[in-house]
Amino acid sequence: MASIELSARTGGLHDLVTARARSTPGAVAVTVGSASLGYGDLVDRAERLARRLRDAGVRPGDFVGVAVDRSLDAVTGLLGVLMSGAAYVPLAAELPAERIRAVAADARIGVVTGSGASVAGAIRARWIPADGTGPADGHLPDSDPDRPAYAIFTSGSTGRPKGVVVPHRAVVASTRARFAVYPYDDVRYVMLAPLTIDAAVAGLFFTLAAGGRLVLPTPDEVLDLQLLADLVHDQRASHLDGLPSQYAALLRFHPEALTGLRCVITGGESLHHAVVRDHLATLPETALFNEYGPTESTVWATAHRCGAADTGPLVPIGRPISGVRATVRGADLAPAEPGALGEIYLAGAGLAWHYLGRPAQTAERFVADPDPRFPGQRMYRTGDLGHLTPDGELVFQGRDDNLVKVRGFRVELGELEAHLLQHPDLADAAVVPHPSPTGLRLVAVVAFAPGRSAGGRALSVFLADRLPAYMVPSRWRRVPELPRTGNGKVDRALLRDSALTVGEELPA
């Protein structure tokens, strides 16, 4: 229980790491490829960087850009910025220069550190490398739980990214809550998420607070299933954290490499029942969790441990974590009855502050909680649809903008995909709407498991046995694998734009 008690007394996020470094300085903290850093060395490098940032004029509350890739310098950069009293903004070098400049302008970034100088050049900022050089002594500011810890920029409906500002207090609460859900002894945590997204916050600080070893796959290992399986096996991983689709591929093709895992955590997209079924059959002793939470709720808000009672097609996202309130509400903000579809609202300890420089969007999404038990508190409108089961479990049913009307009937594309993926021949599938002269039509884009195939008619019959006729796609396209964004999620925008040309037509 030492890790939980430590978290409860912690003011700043980085204190979780420095306290661990004092107790086990020689233990390995982070491994990337053949390189590793111990806790003592990691904190020493981060403190030296923090002093260089202070000397460069960085002050508490400022935003500092961190060029991130899968490297030790990137981790040092994130930690060093926190120790300087500033908040970090993770930036990937491969982002278009225009997007980097938009983020830098919103966050007023004048200094960049981390893993490469190219990002600093793109915005004409001062570059300070995170290479372990810098003064060994010098004052650093005290921790303050009410300072911003980071701003992570997500896609905005206007086409311009919006920065979600999260304070130390929220991230410490989010990290502390993980100790009540996941095993935290002898942690060897393989994290598939890139450091640019908030999913990385969970794996990074939970592992370091637990005194475990964080294993970051190299770019080659992330993209090559065999290399990734070898990494999980060779590092004797205890925890694996990634997208459901990433885990599904490992489970299907390299189950022998996963037998040492104690805990698998999935999130970021829908976990389908077929993956749960295969996991329970292949790794019955390994706990499988389905996590849910947008960036605005500090990584996660609910979690569900999967088991034999999950009969599909939709796998619950579970109950709220410690300190979080999750409700399903109608258009009038009244709580929905169990089983009734509504919008998911989140409140409590993990709520972000606001969107950086976007007061109108902040007011639209962060609204007053009407519950008289929580006067003056806010809720976040997630835009996600779901319902409560009679026993209080949340079930995610897709986005409010993922609802379409087909011949006057409302269709939730996530529900349709969940049913489609129960077909034994399919490895992956996505359904997108496509306008036609006679109204909106549904196009299914599917990828088959190795050696498997089926015609569009067979797939239509499969769905017709489970769903109303208006939910059965009218067109079918076959691809080797679904296109994905840089974060590994299905690129639905691309599929919508190329619905009738992607891959090849699947014969009926």
Non-local CB neighbours of 360 within 8 Å, separated by 6+ positions: none
Residue 293: its pLDDT value, please? 94
Tell me the per-residue pLDDT of 236-258, one tens digit each, with 9 for 90 and over: 999 999 988 899 999 999 999 99
pLDDT tops 50 at residue 422 = yes
Tell me the per-residue pLDDT of 4-26, one tens digit each, with 9 for 90 and over: 444 445 578 899 899 888 899 99
- Strand partners of residue 429: 446
**Both structure tokens of 363:** 């007011």
Closest CA to 293 of 241, 344, 359, 333: 344
**Buried b or exposed e, range 231-240, using 16+ CB within 10 angstroms:** bbbebebbbb
What does R_g of the chain's alpha carbons equal in angstroms? 23
Tell me the per-residue pLDDT of 71-118, one tens digit each, with 9 for 90 and over: 999 999 999 999 999 999 999 888 878 889 989 999 999 999 999 899
> Is 3.30.750.24 the CATH number for 407-505?
no
**Both structure tokens of 112:** 């960049």
**Both structure tokens of 221:** 């290992």
Strands 213-216 and 378-388: unpaired
Q: Which CATH architecture does the domain made up of 264-399 adopt?
A: Roll (2.30)
Pick the CATH number of 2-216 from 3.40.50.920, 3.40.50.12780, 3.30.930.10, 2.120.10.30: 3.40.50.12780
Confidence of residue 397 (pLDDT cuts 50, 70, 90): confident
Confidence of residue 3 (pLDDT cuts 50, 70, 90): very low
Domain definitions of the chain by residue range: 2-216, 264-399, 407-505
Q: Is residue 338 reached through a cis peptide bond, with omega within 30 degrees of 0 on the bond before it?
A: no
- Whole-number Å distance between alpha carbons of 314 and 299: 21
Q: Where are the alpha helices (DSSP H) in 56-89?
A: 72-83
Tell me the per-residue pLDDT of 260-277, one tens digit each, with 9 for 90 and over: 999 999 998 888 898 999
pLDDT tops 70 at residue 158 = no
**Coil, strand or helix at 69:** coil
pLDDT tops 80 at residue 407 = no
**Buried b or exposed e, range 373-389, using 16+ CB within 10 angstroms:** eeeeebbbbbebbbbbe
What are the respective helix, strand and coil percentages of the chain, to the nearest 5?
Answer: 30, 30, 40
Looking at residues 58-64, what average pLDDT do you find? 97
**Both structure tokens of 457:** 């008619």
Could you say which DSSP state residue 471 is in?
G
For residue 278, the surrounding DSSP H or E stretch is helix 273-282
Q: Is 127 exposed, middle or buried (0-12, 13-18, 19+ CB in 10 A)?
A: middle
Is the separation of the CB atoms in 462 and 423 below 8 Å?
A: yes
